Amino acid sequence: MNKIMEKIKFTKRELAILKLMAEGLTNREIAKNLYFSYNTIKADIANIFFKSKARNRVHAVYILTLNGYIN
């Protein structure tokens, strides 16, 4: 399958969140794991969805894995 998006610049925190999302962690678990507030994580995930044009968590993990952001 071809890559479906151009390379997007994600912050280090967004990439860390993506990896934890791919592991199935909830927003609260991600916040606790990365020592950020729940609202900060929610905002970062909203940015990830916007940048990647993903509709939800599963879609985000799928398209970002497909494009090499997640192993």
**What are the tens digits of pLDDT across the range 7-60?**
788 999 999 999 999 999 999 999 999 999 999 999 999 999 999 999 999 999
Per the structure block, which two tokens stand in for 18?
Answer: 């993506």
In this predicted structure, what is the pLDDT of residue 57? Answer: 95
Q: Cβ(27)–Cβ(38) under 8 Å? A: yes
CB atoms within 10 A of CB 51: 16
Q: Tokens for 43? A: 């905002």
In the chain, the N- to C-terminal Cα span, in Å, equals: 16
Domain boundaries, the chain: 12-66
Residue identified by tokens 């494009």 is: 67
User: H or E segment at 46?
Assistant: helix 38-52
- Which pLDDT band, with edges at 50, 70 and 90, does 2 fall under? very low
pLDDT band at 1; cut points 50, 70, 90:
very low
**Which CATH number is associated with domain 12-66?**
1.10.10.10
This prediction's pTM? 0.85
